[in-house]
Structure 1
Amino acid sequence: MSNSASDVKYIVVGVDGTGSGSWRKADGSNSHIFQFVRDFRFGTMGIDRKFFDGPSDSVSGRESEAILQRALDFIMHRLSVLFPQIRNGNIHALDMYDVNSCMQASEQTSMGYMNGYSYTSSYVTRLPVRVTPQMLSKQPFNHSQVRIVLAGHSRGGLVVTTLARMLSPVAQVYFMGLYDSVDRQPCLDGAVVENTRYVFHARRHPDVHSRGFFSNTSTQYKSEYHEERFFYTSHGGIGGSYVTNRSDMTFFGDDSCIVKPDTITITDGMGNPMTIDNVNPLTKKFHKPIDEICIEGSDEADKFIREGARRFGLPIN
Protein backbone atom coordinates (compact mmCIF):
# COMPACT_ATOMS: atom_id res chain seq x y z
CA MET A 1 0.00 0.00 0.00
CA SER A 2 1.41 3.39 -0.97
CA ASN A 3 2.28 5.80 1.82
CA SER A 4 2.36 8.99 -0.23
CA ALA A 5 0.42 11.97 1.11
CA SER A 6 -1.98 11.88 -1.83
CA ASP A 7 -3.05 8.34 -0.89
CA VAL A 8 -4.05 9.21 2.67
CA LYS A 9 -7.76 8.74 3.34
CA TYR A 10 -9.80 10.73 5.84
CA ILE A 11 -12.77 9.76 7.97
CA VAL A 12 -14.39 12.76 9.64
CA VAL A 13 -17.01 12.67 12.41
CA GLY A 14 -18.56 15.64 14.18
CA VAL A 15 -20.99 15.41 17.11
CA ASP A 16 -22.87 18.55 18.13
CA GLY A 17 -24.03 19.70 21.54
CA THR A 18 -27.17 18.87 23.47
CA GLY A 19 -30.40 19.80 21.70
CA SER A 20 -28.72 20.81 18.45
CA GLY A 21 -31.47 19.10 16.51
CA SER A 22 -33.82 21.83 17.74
CA TRP A 23 -31.60 24.93 17.90
CA ARG A 24 -29.35 24.36 14.89
CA LYS A 25 -30.38 26.33 11.81
CA ALA A 26 -30.98 24.40 8.60
CA ASP A 27 -27.85 25.84 7.00
CA GLY A 28 -25.74 25.10 10.07
CA SER A 29 -24.71 28.73 10.39
CA ASN A 30 -24.95 28.59 14.20
CA SER A 31 -23.10 25.28 14.59
CA HIS A 32 -19.31 25.19 14.50
CA ILE A 33 -19.38 21.39 14.42
CA PHE A 34 -21.65 21.26 11.38
CA GLN A 35 -19.47 23.80 9.61
CA PHE A 36 -16.25 21.96 10.53
CA VAL A 37 -17.53 18.75 8.93
CA ARG A 38 -19.02 20.61 5.96
CA ASP A 39 -15.85 22.59 5.26
CA PHE A 40 -13.49 19.62 5.37
CA ARG A 41 -12.18 19.28 1.81
CA PHE A 42 -12.21 15.53 1.35
CA GLY A 43 -14.76 13.06 0.08
CA THR A 44 -18.51 13.34 0.36
CA MET A 45 -20.71 14.53 3.20
CA GLY A 46 -22.50 11.54 4.64
CA ILE A 47 -20.01 9.08 3.16
CA ASP A 48 -16.50 10.11 4.19
CA ARG A 49 -17.72 12.83 6.54
CA LYS A 50 -20.57 12.44 8.99
CA PHE A 51 -22.33 14.98 11.22
CA PHE A 52 -24.43 13.90 14.19
CA ASP A 53 -26.77 16.08 16.19
CA GLY A 54 -26.23 15.91 19.93
CA PRO A 55 -28.56 14.25 22.45
CA SER A 56 -31.96 15.86 22.88
CA ASP A 57 -32.28 15.18 26.61
CA SER A 58 -30.77 18.21 28.36
CA VAL A 59 -30.86 16.60 31.82
CA SER A 60 -29.25 13.17 31.42
CA GLY A 61 -28.04 13.22 27.81
CA ARG A 62 -29.11 9.61 27.63
CA GLU A 63 -28.98 9.44 23.82
CA SER A 64 -25.21 10.00 23.97
CA GLU A 65 -24.51 6.26 23.92
CA ALA A 66 -26.71 5.66 20.88
CA ILE A 67 -24.94 8.48 19.03
CA LEU A 68 -21.58 7.05 20.11
CA GLN A 69 -22.50 3.65 18.72
CA ARG A 70 -23.69 5.08 15.41
CA ALA A 71 -20.47 7.10 15.07
CA LEU A 72 -18.35 4.02 15.77
CA ASP A 73 -20.36 1.96 13.27
CA PHE A 74 -19.85 4.67 10.66
CA ILE A 75 -16.07 4.68 11.12
CA MET A 76 -15.76 0.89 11.11
CA HIS A 77 -17.92 0.67 7.99
CA ARG A 78 -15.77 3.26 6.20
CA LEU A 79 -12.62 1.38 7.15
CA SER A 80 -14.09 -1.82 5.72
CA VAL A 81 -14.90 0.00 2.47
CA LEU A 82 -11.53 1.73 2.18
CA PHE A 83 -9.57 -1.35 3.22
CA PRO A 84 -11.57 -4.44 2.15
CA GLN A 85 -8.99 -6.77 3.67
CA ILE A 86 -10.28 -6.02 7.18
CA ARG A 87 -13.63 -7.64 6.38
CA ASN A 88 -12.03 -11.04 6.72
CA GLY A 89 -9.70 -10.00 9.52
CA ASN A 90 -10.11 -9.97 13.26
CA ILE A 91 -10.24 -6.21 13.75
CA HIS A 92 -12.63 -5.03 16.44
CA ALA A 93 -13.07 -1.81 18.36
CA LEU A 94 -13.96 -1.74 22.05
CA ASP A 95 -17.67 -2.24 22.57
CA MET A 96 -20.18 -0.28 24.62
CA TYR A 97 -19.79 -2.63 27.58
CA ASP A 98 -16.10 -1.71 27.73
CA VAL A 99 -16.70 2.04 28.05
CA ASN A 100 -20.04 2.22 29.88
CA SER A 101 -19.28 2.54 33.59
CA CYS A 102 -22.89 1.80 34.55
CA MET A 103 -22.61 -1.60 32.90
CA GLN A 104 -19.31 -2.22 34.65
CA ALA A 105 -20.88 -1.36 38.01
CA SER A 106 -23.69 -3.91 37.62
CA GLU A 107 -24.65 -5.90 40.68
CA GLN A 108 -22.04 -8.50 41.55
CA THR A 109 -24.00 -10.42 44.20
CA SER A 110 -27.45 -11.95 44.26
CA MET A 111 -29.61 -12.97 47.21
CA GLY A 112 -31.69 -16.15 47.28
CA TYR A 113 -33.84 -18.31 49.52
CA MET A 114 -33.99 -22.12 49.27
CA ASN A 115 -35.16 -24.91 51.58
CA GLY A 116 -35.51 -22.52 54.51
CA TYR A 117 -32.02 -21.04 54.15
CA SER A 118 -30.96 -17.74 52.70
CA TYR A 119 -27.81 -17.57 50.60
CA THR A 120 -25.65 -15.08 48.72
CA SER A 121 -23.98 -15.94 45.44
CA SER A 122 -21.28 -13.88 43.77
CA TYR A 123 -20.12 -13.74 40.19
CA VAL A 124 -17.25 -11.98 38.51
CA THR A 125 -17.80 -9.09 36.11
CA ARG A 126 -15.22 -7.76 33.71
CA LEU A 127 -13.20 -4.79 34.82
CA PRO A 128 -13.34 -1.68 32.61
CA VAL A 129 -11.07 -2.07 29.61
CA ARG A 130 -8.11 0.29 29.72
CA VAL A 131 -6.03 1.52 26.84
CA THR A 132 -2.57 -0.04 27.07
CA PRO A 133 0.69 0.47 25.14
CA GLN A 134 0.35 -3.10 23.89
CA MET A 135 -3.09 -2.36 22.48
CA LEU A 136 -1.83 0.75 20.71
CA SER A 137 1.24 -1.00 19.30
CA LYS A 138 -0.93 -3.59 17.53
CA GLN A 139 -3.16 -1.12 15.67
CA PRO A 140 -3.51 -2.32 12.06
CA PHE A 141 -3.80 1.19 10.59
CA ASN A 142 -1.45 4.17 10.71
CA HIS A 143 -1.70 7.83 9.74
CA SER A 144 -0.08 7.30 6.36
CA GLN A 145 -3.08 5.15 5.42
CA VAL A 146 -6.03 6.81 7.10
CA ARG A 147 -6.52 9.85 9.30
CA ILE A 148 -9.54 9.84 11.57
CA VAL A 149 -10.69 13.34 12.51
CA LEU A 150 -13.17 13.96 15.32
CA ALA A 151 -14.88 17.13 16.52
CA GLY A 152 -17.42 17.58 19.30
CA HIS A 153 -19.22 20.33 21.18
CA SER A 154 -20.55 20.05 24.75
CA ARG A 155 -21.74 16.46 25.30
CA GLY A 156 -20.60 15.84 21.74
CA GLY A 157 -17.08 16.37 23.07
CA LEU A 158 -17.68 13.60 25.59
CA VAL A 159 -18.90 11.35 22.78
CA VAL A 160 -15.84 11.84 20.54
CA THR A 161 -13.47 11.48 23.51
CA THR A 162 -15.06 8.12 24.29
CA LEU A 163 -15.10 7.23 20.59
CA ALA A 164 -11.33 7.71 20.35
CA ARG A 165 -10.92 5.31 23.25
CA MET A 166 -13.14 2.71 21.56
CA LEU A 167 -10.93 2.91 18.47
CA SER A 168 -7.76 2.11 20.44
CA PRO A 169 -7.42 -1.48 19.10
CA VAL A 170 -7.96 -0.26 15.52
CA ALA A 171 -6.33 3.12 14.78
CA GLN A 172 -5.14 6.25 16.51
CA VAL A 173 -7.29 9.34 15.96
CA TYR A 174 -5.23 11.88 14.07
CA PHE A 175 -6.93 15.08 15.23
CA MET A 176 -9.62 15.97 17.75
CA GLY A 177 -11.26 19.39 18.00
CA LEU A 178 -13.15 19.89 21.26
CA TYR A 179 -15.58 22.77 21.66
CA ASP A 180 -16.10 23.15 25.41
CA SER A 181 -16.47 19.44 26.12
CA VAL A 182 -18.69 18.58 29.09
CA ASP A 183 -19.70 15.32 30.75
CA ARG A 184 -23.18 15.48 32.36
CA GLN A 185 -23.84 11.89 31.32
CA PRO A 186 -23.75 9.28 34.08
CA CYS A 187 -22.30 6.26 32.29
CA LEU A 188 -19.54 7.55 29.98
CA ASP A 189 -16.17 8.73 31.28
CA GLY A 190 -14.46 11.33 29.11
CA ALA A 191 -12.01 12.84 31.60
CA VAL A 192 -8.92 11.69 29.68
CA VAL A 193 -8.34 12.18 25.96
CA GLU A 194 -6.31 9.21 24.77
CA ASN A 195 -5.52 7.41 21.54
CA THR A 196 -5.37 10.79 19.81
CA ARG A 197 -2.33 12.42 18.23
CA TYR A 198 -3.33 16.12 18.18
CA VAL A 199 -5.93 17.73 20.43
CA PHE A 200 -7.24 21.31 20.45
CA HIS A 201 -9.76 22.24 23.13
CA ALA A 202 -11.59 25.59 23.12
CA ARG A 203 -13.17 26.28 26.52
CA ARG A 204 -15.48 29.01 27.82
CA HIS A 205 -13.72 31.52 30.07
CA PRO A 206 -14.96 31.32 33.67
CA ASP A 207 -15.24 35.12 33.84
CA VAL A 208 -18.19 34.96 31.44
CA HIS A 209 -20.10 33.01 34.13
CA SER A 210 -21.74 30.77 31.57
CA ARG A 211 -23.22 27.47 32.70
CA GLY A 212 -21.49 27.70 36.06
CA PHE A 213 -23.34 24.64 37.36
CA PHE A 214 -21.33 22.20 35.26
CA SER A 215 -17.64 21.84 34.57
CA ASN A 216 -15.60 20.60 31.63
CA THR A 217 -14.42 17.12 30.80
CA SER A 218 -11.71 15.95 28.36
CA THR A 219 -9.16 18.08 30.22
CA GLN A 220 -6.42 15.46 30.68
CA TYR A 221 -4.45 14.61 27.57
CA LYS A 222 -2.44 11.55 26.61
CA SER A 223 -1.48 12.81 23.20
CA GLU A 224 1.55 13.79 21.18
CA TYR A 225 0.41 17.41 21.26
CA HIS A 226 -2.46 19.27 22.87
CA GLU A 227 -3.45 22.88 23.16
CA GLU A 228 -6.19 24.31 25.35
CA ARG A 229 -7.42 27.92 25.39
CA PHE A 230 -10.18 29.89 27.07
CA PHE A 231 -12.43 32.28 25.16
CA TYR A 232 -14.72 35.06 26.33
CA THR A 233 -18.03 33.63 25.20
CA SER A 234 -20.74 31.37 26.53
CA HIS A 235 -20.79 27.59 26.48
CA GLY A 236 -23.13 27.75 23.50
CA GLY A 237 -20.95 30.44 21.92
CA ILE A 238 -17.98 28.07 21.83
CA GLY A 239 -20.15 25.80 19.71
CA GLY A 240 -21.47 28.63 17.54
CA SER A 241 -24.86 29.32 19.15
CA TYR A 242 -25.33 32.05 21.75
CA VAL A 243 -28.17 34.22 23.01
CA THR A 244 -27.68 38.00 22.96
CA ASN A 245 -31.32 39.08 23.02
CA ARG A 246 -33.54 38.65 26.05
CA SER A 247 -36.51 37.80 23.82
CA ASP A 248 -34.67 34.70 22.54
CA MET A 249 -34.15 33.23 26.00
CA THR A 250 -35.68 29.82 26.70
CA PHE A 251 -36.49 28.41 30.12
CA PHE A 252 -33.11 26.70 30.43
CA GLY A 253 -31.33 29.38 28.42
CA ASP A 254 -27.98 31.01 29.15
CA ASP A 255 -28.17 34.79 29.66
CA SER A 256 -24.43 35.35 30.18
CA CYS A 257 -24.08 37.13 26.80
CA ILE A 258 -27.13 39.40 27.17
CA VAL A 259 -26.54 43.10 27.86
CA LYS A 260 -28.09 44.09 31.16
CA PRO A 261 -29.08 47.56 32.45
CA ASP A 262 -26.18 49.77 33.53
CA THR A 263 -27.74 50.15 36.96
CA ILE A 264 -30.28 48.35 39.11
CA THR A 265 -32.26 49.53 42.08
CA ILE A 266 -32.37 47.49 45.26
CA THR A 267 -33.64 48.12 48.77
CA ASP A 268 -31.26 48.53 51.68
CA GLY A 269 -31.86 47.07 55.12
CA MET A 270 -33.96 50.11 56.12
CA GLY A 271 -36.30 49.84 53.15
CA ASN A 272 -34.64 52.68 51.23
CA PRO A 273 -34.01 52.33 47.50
CA MET A 274 -30.38 52.13 46.37
CA THR A 275 -29.01 52.40 42.85
CA ILE A 276 -25.98 50.22 42.19
CA ASP A 277 -23.64 49.68 39.27
CA ASN A 278 -24.75 46.74 37.09
CA VAL A 279 -22.27 47.02 34.19
CA ASN A 280 -20.73 43.67 33.32
CA PRO A 281 -17.11 43.48 34.57
CA LEU A 282 -15.98 42.25 31.14
CA THR A 283 -17.56 45.30 29.54
CA LYS A 284 -15.48 47.47 31.84
CA LYS A 285 -12.37 45.42 31.09
CA PHE A 286 -12.65 45.41 27.28
CA HIS A 287 -14.76 48.57 26.80
CA LYS A 288 -17.28 46.62 24.72
CA PRO A 289 -20.80 45.40 25.46
CA ILE A 290 -20.93 41.78 26.54
CA ASP A 291 -22.80 40.65 23.43
CA GLU A 292 -19.98 41.90 21.20
CA ILE A 293 -17.43 40.22 23.44
CA CYS A 294 -19.31 36.92 23.16
CA ILE A 295 -19.63 37.14 19.39
CA GLU A 296 -15.91 37.78 18.99
CA GLY A 297 -15.05 35.02 21.45
CA SER A 298 -17.22 32.54 19.57
CA ASP A 299 -15.49 33.34 16.28
CA GLU A 300 -12.06 33.15 17.89
CA ALA A 301 -12.81 29.72 19.39
CA ASP A 302 -13.74 28.27 16.01
CA LYS A 303 -10.69 29.90 14.40
CA PHE A 304 -8.47 28.34 17.06
CA ILE A 305 -9.71 24.82 16.25
CA ARG A 306 -9.47 25.29 12.49
CA GLU A 307 -6.01 26.82 12.60
CA GLY A 308 -4.89 23.90 14.74
CA ALA A 309 -6.27 21.46 12.18
CA ARG A 310 -4.55 23.26 9.31
CA ARG A 311 -1.29 23.42 11.24
CA PHE A 312 -1.16 19.65 11.21
CA GLY A 313 -2.04 19.30 7.56
CA LEU A 314 -5.80 18.87 7.52
CA PRO A 315 -7.63 20.15 4.41
CA ILE A 316 -10.20 22.45 5.99
CA ASN A 317 -11.15 26.00 5.05
Structure 2
Amino acid sequence: MRIYCCIDGTDNADPSGNAVQRACVMLEGTQSMTNGHVKRIASLGFDRHKYFPGTQDSVTGRSSAQIVEQALNWILANYGSSPNPDRKLFLGGFSRGGAAMIVIAHRLQQRRIPVQEMYLFDAVDRSFWMDDDQTNSIPGNVTMAFHALRDPLSGSRVSFGNCGLYGTGANVLPATFMTTHGGVGGWPNGEAMVKPGVGPEDYMYMARLGPVIGAAAAASDRRRHNIHESGEPWPSNITPAQERAGMRRAWDWMFGKAFSTLGAAYSS
Protein backbone atom coordinates (compact mmCIF):
# COMPACT_ATOMS: atom_id res chain seq x y z
CA MET A 1 0.00 0.00 0.00
CA ARG A 2 1.29 3.44 -0.98
CA ILE A 3 0.37 6.39 1.24
CA TYR A 4 0.92 10.07 0.45
CA CYS A 5 0.49 13.11 2.69
CA CYS A 6 1.25 16.69 1.66
CA ILE A 7 1.11 20.23 3.07
CA ASP A 8 0.83 23.31 0.89
CA GLY A 9 2.43 26.73 1.33
CA THR A 10 1.27 29.86 3.14
CA ASP A 11 -2.23 31.02 2.15
CA ASN A 12 -2.43 28.24 -0.46
CA ALA A 13 -5.60 26.17 -0.13
CA ASP A 14 -7.58 23.87 -2.36
CA PRO A 15 -11.13 25.26 -2.60
CA SER A 16 -12.48 21.86 -3.61
CA GLY A 17 -11.38 20.14 -0.40
CA ASN A 18 -9.39 16.92 -0.55
CA ALA A 19 -10.64 15.57 -3.88
CA VAL A 20 -7.75 14.71 -6.19
CA GLN A 21 -7.67 16.60 -9.48
CA ARG A 22 -6.81 13.79 -11.89
CA ALA A 23 -7.37 15.89 -15.00
CA CYS A 24 -4.77 18.49 -14.03
CA VAL A 25 -4.36 21.41 -16.38
CA MET A 26 -2.04 24.38 -16.19
CA LEU A 27 -4.10 27.53 -15.73
CA GLU A 28 -1.50 30.15 -16.43
CA GLY A 29 -1.58 33.12 -14.09
CA THR A 30 -4.41 31.64 -12.03
CA GLN A 31 -4.05 30.44 -8.46
CA SER A 32 -5.81 27.11 -8.68
CA MET A 33 -5.03 23.82 -7.01
CA THR A 34 -4.92 22.27 -10.45
CA ASN A 35 -1.57 24.09 -10.40
CA GLY A 36 -0.46 23.27 -6.85
CA HIS A 37 2.38 20.82 -7.31
CA VAL A 38 2.14 18.99 -3.98
CA LYS A 39 -1.50 18.22 -4.76
CA ARG A 40 -0.78 17.15 -8.32
CA ILE A 41 1.63 14.51 -7.03
CA ALA A 42 -1.38 12.82 -5.38
CA SER A 43 -2.73 11.88 -8.81
CA LEU A 44 0.14 9.46 -9.39
CA GLY A 45 -1.76 6.48 -8.05
CA PHE A 46 -1.56 6.33 -4.25
CA ASP A 47 -3.84 3.99 -2.35
CA ARG A 48 -4.42 6.62 0.32
CA HIS A 49 -3.66 10.32 0.21
CA LYS A 50 -4.36 13.48 2.15
CA TYR A 51 -3.87 17.14 1.29
CA PHE A 52 -3.52 19.83 3.98
CA PRO A 53 -3.79 23.53 3.04
CA GLY A 54 -0.95 25.78 4.11
CA THR A 55 -0.93 28.01 7.16
CA GLN A 56 -2.97 31.21 6.94
CA ASP A 57 -0.59 33.06 9.28
CA SER A 58 1.49 34.76 6.61
CA VAL A 59 3.73 36.65 9.05
CA THR A 60 4.67 34.03 11.65
CA GLY A 61 3.32 30.77 10.24
CA ARG A 62 2.15 29.97 13.75
CA SER A 63 -0.65 27.60 12.75
CA SER A 64 1.91 25.35 11.05
CA ALA A 65 2.33 23.66 14.44
CA GLN A 66 -1.32 22.62 14.41
CA ILE A 67 -1.10 21.46 10.80
CA VAL A 68 1.94 19.33 11.66
CA GLU A 69 -0.02 17.58 14.41
CA GLN A 70 -3.02 17.04 12.12
CA ALA A 71 -0.88 15.64 9.32
CA LEU A 72 1.14 13.43 11.67
CA ASN A 73 -2.04 12.03 13.22
CA TRP A 74 -3.41 11.23 9.76
CA ILE A 75 -0.18 9.48 8.80
CA LEU A 76 -0.14 7.37 11.97
CA ALA A 77 -3.82 6.49 11.52
CA ASN A 78 -3.28 5.33 7.93
CA TYR A 79 0.25 3.94 8.03
CA GLY A 80 0.42 2.79 11.63
CA SER A 81 2.50 3.80 14.63
CA SER A 82 5.36 1.39 13.93
CA PRO A 83 7.30 0.17 10.88
CA ASN A 84 5.15 -1.79 8.42
CA PRO A 85 6.94 -3.44 5.45
CA ASP A 86 3.64 -3.76 3.57
CA ARG A 87 3.18 0.03 3.42
CA LYS A 88 5.23 2.71 1.70
CA LEU A 89 5.04 6.31 2.90
CA PHE A 90 5.54 9.38 0.69
CA LEU A 91 5.54 13.02 1.85
CA GLY A 92 5.21 16.31 -0.04
CA GLY A 93 5.41 19.97 0.92
CA PHE A 94 5.70 23.47 -0.53
CA SER A 95 7.25 26.52 1.17
CA ARG A 96 6.40 26.47 4.90
CA GLY A 97 4.54 23.25 4.19
CA GLY A 98 7.85 21.76 3.09
CA ALA A 99 9.48 22.77 6.37
CA ALA A 100 6.52 21.28 8.25
CA MET A 101 6.95 18.00 6.39
CA ILE A 102 10.63 17.88 7.30
CA VAL A 103 9.62 18.25 10.96
CA ILE A 104 7.15 15.38 10.48
CA ALA A 105 9.90 13.24 8.95
CA HIS A 106 12.00 13.78 12.08
CA ARG A 107 9.02 12.86 14.25
CA LEU A 108 8.55 9.67 12.23
CA GLN A 109 12.23 8.85 12.64
CA GLN A 110 11.68 8.77 16.39
CA ARG A 111 9.17 5.97 15.74
CA ARG A 112 11.55 4.27 13.28
CA ILE A 113 9.00 4.73 10.50
CA PRO A 114 10.70 4.91 7.09
CA VAL A 115 9.77 7.42 4.39
CA GLN A 116 10.18 6.17 0.84
CA GLU A 117 10.41 9.58 -0.83
CA MET A 118 9.85 13.27 -0.11
CA TYR A 119 8.79 15.77 -2.77
CA LEU A 120 9.78 19.24 -1.59
CA PHE A 121 9.06 22.46 -3.46
CA ASP A 122 11.18 25.40 -2.27
CA ALA A 123 10.90 24.56 1.43
CA VAL A 124 11.41 27.56 3.74
CA ASP A 125 11.51 27.77 7.52
CA ARG A 126 9.75 31.03 8.37
CA SER A 127 8.01 30.01 11.59
CA PHE A 128 9.27 30.86 15.06
CA TRP A 129 7.94 27.61 16.50
CA MET A 130 9.98 25.30 14.26
CA ASP A 131 13.31 23.95 15.51
CA ASP A 132 16.11 24.70 13.06
CA ASP A 133 17.69 21.35 13.95
CA GLN A 134 14.60 19.67 12.50
CA THR A 135 14.24 21.75 9.36
CA ASN A 136 17.82 22.27 8.21
CA SER A 137 18.38 18.64 7.26
CA ILE A 138 16.51 15.59 6.01
CA PRO A 139 16.61 12.74 8.57
CA GLY A 140 18.08 9.33 7.83
CA ASN A 141 14.74 7.51 7.76
CA VAL A 142 14.02 9.20 4.41
CA THR A 143 15.33 7.13 1.52
CA MET A 144 15.37 10.09 -0.89
CA ALA A 145 14.18 13.69 -0.80
CA PHE A 146 13.79 15.49 -4.13
CA HIS A 147 13.91 19.25 -3.63
CA ALA A 148 12.94 21.74 -6.36
CA LEU A 149 14.36 25.19 -5.52
CA ARG A 150 14.07 28.68 -6.97
CA ASP A 151 17.34 29.79 -8.54
CA PRO A 152 19.06 32.46 -6.40
CA LEU A 153 19.56 34.48 -9.59
CA SER A 154 15.78 34.76 -9.92
CA GLY A 155 15.73 37.48 -7.26
CA SER A 156 12.51 35.94 -5.92
CA ARG A 157 11.79 36.07 -2.19
CA VAL A 158 15.39 36.91 -1.36
CA SER A 159 14.58 37.14 2.36
CA PHE A 160 13.10 33.64 2.60
CA GLY A 161 16.19 31.45 2.35
CA ASN A 162 15.65 27.69 2.21
CA CYS A 163 15.71 24.67 4.49
CA GLY A 164 16.01 20.96 3.86
CA LEU A 165 19.16 21.41 1.79
CA TYR A 166 21.20 18.77 3.57
CA GLY A 167 20.60 15.16 4.42
CA THR A 168 22.05 12.02 5.89
CA GLY A 169 24.44 10.51 3.41
CA ALA A 170 23.17 11.09 -0.12
CA ASN A 171 19.42 11.20 0.53
CA VAL A 172 18.79 14.72 -0.85
CA LEU A 173 18.71 15.61 -4.54
CA PRO A 174 18.21 19.35 -5.18
CA ALA A 175 17.58 21.13 -8.47
CA THR A 176 17.17 24.87 -9.14
CA PHE A 177 14.72 26.54 -11.53
CA MET A 178 14.57 30.07 -12.90
CA THR A 179 11.14 31.00 -11.64
CA THR A 180 9.55 32.60 -8.60
CA HIS A 181 9.01 30.98 -5.22
CA GLY A 182 5.33 30.61 -6.07
CA GLY A 183 6.18 29.26 -9.49
CA VAL A 184 8.21 26.41 -8.00
CA GLY A 185 5.18 25.36 -5.99
CA GLY A 186 2.70 25.72 -8.84
CA TRP A 187 1.20 28.98 -7.57
CA PRO A 188 2.26 31.58 -10.16
CA ASN A 189 2.06 35.30 -9.45
CA GLY A 190 1.27 36.11 -13.08
CA GLU A 191 0.74 39.45 -14.80
CA ALA A 192 -1.14 40.88 -11.81
CA MET A 193 2.12 41.17 -9.86
CA VAL A 194 3.97 43.20 -12.49
CA LYS A 195 4.26 46.74 -11.16
CA PRO A 196 5.85 49.79 -12.77
CA GLY A 197 9.43 50.20 -11.66
CA VAL A 198 11.13 53.44 -10.78
CA GLY A 199 11.15 55.63 -13.88
CA PRO A 200 14.26 57.23 -15.41
CA GLU A 201 13.33 60.64 -14.06
CA ASP A 202 13.01 59.21 -10.55
CA TYR A 203 16.31 57.42 -10.95
CA MET A 204 18.08 60.67 -11.84
CA TYR A 205 16.67 62.28 -8.69
CA MET A 206 17.42 59.31 -6.43
CA ALA A 207 20.95 59.00 -7.79
CA ARG A 208 21.68 62.34 -6.13
CA LEU A 209 20.80 60.78 -2.76
CA GLY A 210 23.79 58.47 -2.90
CA PRO A 211 25.29 55.60 -4.91
CA VAL A 212 23.50 52.84 -2.98
CA ILE A 213 20.02 54.31 -3.39
CA GLY A 214 20.79 55.29 -6.96
CA ALA A 215 21.97 51.79 -7.89
CA ALA A 216 18.88 50.23 -6.30
CA ALA A 217 16.63 52.61 -8.20
CA ALA A 218 18.40 51.82 -11.46
CA ALA A 219 18.00 48.10 -10.85
CA SER A 220 14.30 48.58 -10.19
CA ASP A 221 13.94 50.54 -13.43
CA ARG A 222 15.58 47.74 -15.40
CA ARG A 223 13.09 45.28 -13.90
CA ARG A 224 9.94 47.31 -14.48
CA HIS A 225 8.38 44.45 -16.50
CA ASN A 226 9.21 41.78 -13.94
CA ILE A 227 7.15 40.26 -11.15
CA HIS A 228 7.19 42.28 -7.93
CA GLU A 229 6.15 39.95 -5.11
CA SER A 230 4.14 41.36 -2.23
CA GLY A 231 6.24 42.56 0.69
CA GLU A 232 9.46 42.67 -1.32
CA PRO A 233 11.21 46.06 -1.71
CA TRP A 234 12.33 45.46 -5.30
CA PRO A 235 11.04 43.49 -8.30
CA SER A 236 12.40 40.03 -9.00
CA ASN A 237 14.44 39.12 -12.07
CA ILE A 238 11.55 37.05 -13.45
CA THR A 239 8.95 38.01 -16.03
CA PRO A 240 5.54 36.29 -16.07
CA ALA A 241 6.62 34.26 -19.12
CA GLN A 242 9.79 33.12 -17.35
CA GLU A 243 7.75 32.25 -14.28
CA ARG A 244 5.41 30.02 -16.26
CA ALA A 245 8.26 28.32 -18.11
CA GLY A 246 10.22 27.69 -14.91
CA MET A 247 7.11 26.46 -13.14
CA ARG A 248 6.57 23.89 -15.87
CA ARG A 249 10.20 22.75 -15.73
CA ALA A 250 10.01 22.35 -11.94
CA TRP A 251 6.90 20.20 -12.29
CA ASP A 252 8.35 18.12 -15.12
CA TRP A 253 11.48 17.42 -13.08
CA MET A 254 9.58 16.38 -9.96
CA PHE A 255 7.02 14.43 -11.97
CA GLY A 256 9.83 12.46 -13.58
CA LYS A 257 11.37 11.60 -10.21
CA ALA A 258 8.04 10.55 -8.70
CA PHE A 259 6.92 8.66 -11.80
CA SER A 260 10.11 6.62 -11.90
CA THR A 261 9.15 5.21 -8.49
CA LEU A 262 5.37 5.09 -8.69
CA GLY A 263 4.99 4.19 -12.37
CA ALA A 264 1.30 5.13 -12.48
CA ALA A 265 -0.48 6.05 -15.70
CA TYR A 266 -0.71 9.81 -15.73
CA SER A 267 -0.91 12.57 -18.31
CA SER A 268 1.19 15.60 -17.40
Counterpart Cα distance in 2 of 1:152 and 1:316:
22
Q: Which residue of 2 aligns with 1:55?
A: 55
Q: Once the 2 structures are TM-superposed, how far is the Cα of residue 306 of structure 1 from its aligned partner?
A: 1.4
- Which digits, 9 at most, give the CA deviation of each residue in 1:24-47, with x for residues without a partner? 97961231112222x12133xxxx
TM-score (norm 1): 0.64
Greater helix content: 2
Q: Which residue of 2 aligns with 1:141?
A: 84
Does the CA-based 8 Å contact 2:190-2:240 persist in structure 1? Answer: yes
Counterpart Cα distance in 2 of 1:198 and 1:162:
15
Counterpart Cα distance in 2 of 1:150 and 1:183:
17
Counterpart Cα distance in 2 of 1:231 and 1:26:
19
RMSD: 3.1
Residue 133 of structure 2 is aligned to residue 184 of structure 1: no
Q: Once the 2 structures are TM-superposed, how far is the Cα of residue 267 of structure 1 from its aligned partner?
A: 2.1
Residue 177 of structure 2 is aligned to residue 240 of structure 1: no
* Matched position secondary structure for 1:220: coil
Q: Percent identity?
A: 26
Structure 2: which amino acid aligns with 1:10?
R
- Which digits, 9 at most, give the CA deviation of each residue in 1:282-309, with x for residues without a partner? 99xxxxx822111110111111111111
* Matched position secondary structure for 2:67: helix
Q: How does 1:211-226 map to 2 (within 5 A)?
A: 211-222=157-168, 224-226=170-172
Counterpart Cα distance in 2 of 1:276 and 1:292:
22
Counterpart Cα distance in 2 of 1:229 and 1:282:
26
* Matched position secondary structure for 1:238: helix
Measured at CA, do residues 166 and 153 of structure 1 come closer, stay the same or move farther in structure 2, by a change above 3 Å? Answer: same
Structure 1: which amino acid aligns with 2:6?
G
* Matched position secondary structure for 2:13: helix
Q: Which residue of 1 aligns with 2:177?
A: 231
Measured at CA, do residues 177 and 270 of structure 1 come closer, stay the same or move farther in structure 2, by a change above 3 Å? Answer: closer
Unmatched 5+ residue regions in structure 1?
A: 1-8, 81-90, 93-139, 250-257, 284-288
Structure 2: which amino acid aligns with 1:41?
G
Counterpart Cα distance in 2 of 1:313 and 1:243:
30
Counterpart Cα distance in 2 of 1:184 and 1:307:
29
TM-score (norm 2): 0.75
Counterpart Cα distance in 2 of 1:282 and 1:199:
35
Does the CA-based 8 Å contact 1:259-1:291 persist in structure 2? Answer: no
- Which digits, 9 at most, give the CA deviation of each residue in 1:142-183, with x for residues without a partner? 3xx211011100000011111111111242100001000000
Does the CA-based 8 Å contact 1:237-1:298 persist in structure 2? Answer: yes
Counterpart Cα distance in 2 of 1:297 and 1:267:
34
Does the CA-based 8 Å contact 1:233-1:295 persist in structure 2? Answer: yes
Q: Once the 2 structures are TM-superposed, how far is the Cα of residue 279 of structure 1 from its aligned partner?
A: 4.0
* Matched position secondary structure for 2:130: coil
Greater strand content: 1
- Tell which structure's C-alpha radius of gyration is larger: 1
Structure 2: which amino acid aligns with 1:305?
M
Q: Which residue of 1 aligns with 2:9?
A: 17
Query: How many residues matched?
Result: 228
